[in-house]
Amino acid sequence: MEQSKAEKPVIHQDLVVLDMNCSTAEEAIRQLAGKLEERRWVKEGYTQAVLNREKEYPTGLPTNEAAVAIPHTNAEYCLKSAMVTGILREPVSFGNMANPDEMLPVRIIFLLAMKEPALQVQWLKQLVSMLRKPGMLENLVNQTSRDEVVNLLKTIL
């Protein structure tokens, strides 16, 4: 069956982690990727592939409000399209995608697992567009429940 252009990745309260207590980007990625591994929505090797890609092509993105990271890897590792959102208690350092030598203090992570390469490109564009909206990241960081985060993301994405 052909995947529809309108298909959206799963955004669910079980794929939101609030008040994450991590000291490194790797620890944060492993924790978020574990949510996908538990559900068997990604193949073996997904987490390591994300970490390897992050070292080669950092995904930190500076914004006016808070730095974010959008780690992801090739579609070949993904069995189901989903996005895991992590909001960190304290920022962790991610390389800046525009300047890999610069480290950014990231508070919000959107870990993508996209089954179709075209869907990944589409979602990266939508996320970047969302991040440009004034107040959006501050609003996300201040959410107190996973349901609130999911509802906010679903209205925007």
Least confident among 49-53, 116-120, 137-141: 116-120
| Per-residue model confidence (pLDDT) at position 30 | 98
pLDDT value, residue 8:
67
Mean pLDDT of 4-22: 81
Compute CA distances 48 → 33, 37, 55, 92, whole Å.
Answer: 10, 12, 11, 19
CA 110/CA 29 separation, integer angstroms: 10
Q: Specify the pLDDT at position 124.
A: 84
* Mean pLDDT value of segment 3-7: 46
Domains of the chain (ranges plus CATH)?
A: 13-156 (3.40.930.10)
Model-level pTM?
A: 0.90
Instruction: Report the candidate in 40, 104, 108 with the shortest Cα–Cα distance to residue 77.
Output: 40
* Separation CA 113–CA 9 (nearest Å): 8
Residue 2: the pLDDT is 40
Mean pLDDT of 86-98: 96
Decide if pLDDT at 77 tops 50. Answer: yes
Computed on alpha carbons and rounded to an integer, the radius of gyration of the chain in Å comes to: 14
Per-residue pLDDT at 13 exceeds 70: yes
Phi and psi angles of residue 91, each rounded to the nearest 5 degrees, phi first: -60, 150
